[in-house]
Amino acid sequence: MITMAAVDRFSLLYREISRSCSFYMEALAIVGAWYTVRKCVSLALDTYGVLRLHVIPKLSGETDLVKKYGKWAVVTGSTDGIGKAYAEQLAKRGVNIILVSRNKEKLEAVSRSISETYKVETDFIVVDFSKGRELYPAIKEALKDREIGILVNNVGIFYAHTDYFTNLSEDMLWDLIHVNIASATMMTHIVLPGMVKKKKGAIVNLSSGFCCQPAPMLTVYGASKSYLDYFSRSLHYEYASKGIFIQSLIPFVTSTNMVAFSSSMSKSSIFFPTAEQYASHAVSTLGLSIRTTGYWKHGIQRTLSECVPEWMWAKFALYLGRILRKEALAAKAKSE
């Protein structure tokens, strides 16, 4: 009798455990199915996003930017690198270009080249944005009678090479603030009222991949680009209802004079496109995404960077920054 009672109790306990396990297994199956569906939907949306930004525009033909935004585009920092290449891409689409930079000779040459190559009107304004607030009234006066449809805030300065914050001079710090932050803010303040009045326009602010994760040894540069990214996204929501499209463009390393201090980064490669390659992709995202790298290969780099924990990214960035600094200082000493 005792043996039978023990068997009955064990059988009852086994049935209860089985029912409990069955319930938990069903619950886990539901959670697993929900997670799988969510990931599949996310993957599908991401895939569609990539196709919508980087493939469909190429297949469907170029957008009529003049009709959509206006006759004229203002491009700052437009005598070299991405700024020049972006101005050329806009001109290729029939937009008249106003170049803004500090070197008059280069401005004249680029203005003439764009006008002759793309058969559009061009003009230029000589401005050194490092001079501070006193230069903006003259810019406002020069632009007052133009139908500005697109503003590209591209002008920016980089470190001479990666370096520690305390090694930067006060002049360098003020230049970073005036050129990278104040210029985009004030140029937008000058141009935006006219766009609001016409109820159409686009503003492109050149941020940087350095705003996505901490950039030790490029601290102030990265912080200035984070400002542009935040400024762009917030301003878009503020003025989207008024017909204005504002884009934060976030390129990763591009082979331009800005990274000339590094022999590896200044050479074009599969990961480091030329300014022309980058601009030809980036301009096709105008009007489609308020925050994009502008180039599908840079999009892959951004996705990978976001998968890396911040502390790991920062340690690697610091290690790389020290190597690049050592390389730049060695090259400087050798040239002297």
With H, G, I as helix, E, B as strand and everything else as coil, classify residue 110.
helix
Is 221 catalytic? The answer is: yes
Residues 83 and 153: their CA atoms lie apart, in Å, by 9
Neighbours of 29 (CB within 10 A): 10
**Catalytic position from the list 221, 227, 239, 295:** 221
**What is the pLDDT, as a whole number, of residue 63?**
83
Q: Which two tokens stand for residue 152?
A: 């590209």
- Check residue 217 and give left, alpha or beta (phi > 0: left; psi -120 to 50: alpha): left
Q: Which superfamily, per CATH, for 54-325?
A: NAD(P)-binding Rossmann-like Domain (3.40.50.720)
Residues 12 and 136: their CA atoms lie apart, in Å, by 85
Residues 231 and 233: their CA atoms lie apart, in Å, by 6
Q: How confident is the model at residue 301 (pLDDT cuts 50, 70, 90)?
A: confident
Q: Kindly report, residue by residue over 238-280, the tens digit of the pLDDT.
A: 999 999 999 999 998 887 766 655 655 556 567 788 999 999 9
Residues 79 and 127: their CA atoms lie apart, in Å, by 12
Residues 89 and 78: their CA atoms lie apart, in Å, by 12
**What is the pLDDT, as a whole number, of residue 52?**
61
Q: Kindly report, residue by residue over 192-205, the tens digit of the pLDDT.
A: 999 999 999 999 99
Q: Kindly report, residue by residue over 108-125, the tens digit of the pLDDT.
A: 999 999 999 999 999 999
Q: What is the mean pLDDT of the chain?
A: 87
- Whether 86 shows a pLDDT value over 80: the answer reads yes
Mean pLDDT of 37-44: 66
Q: How confident is the model at residue 334 (pLDDT cuts 50, 70, 90)?
A: confident
Residue spans of the domains in the chain: they are 54-325
Mean pLDDT of 208-228: 93
Q: Which two tokens stand for residue 1?
A: 């009798």
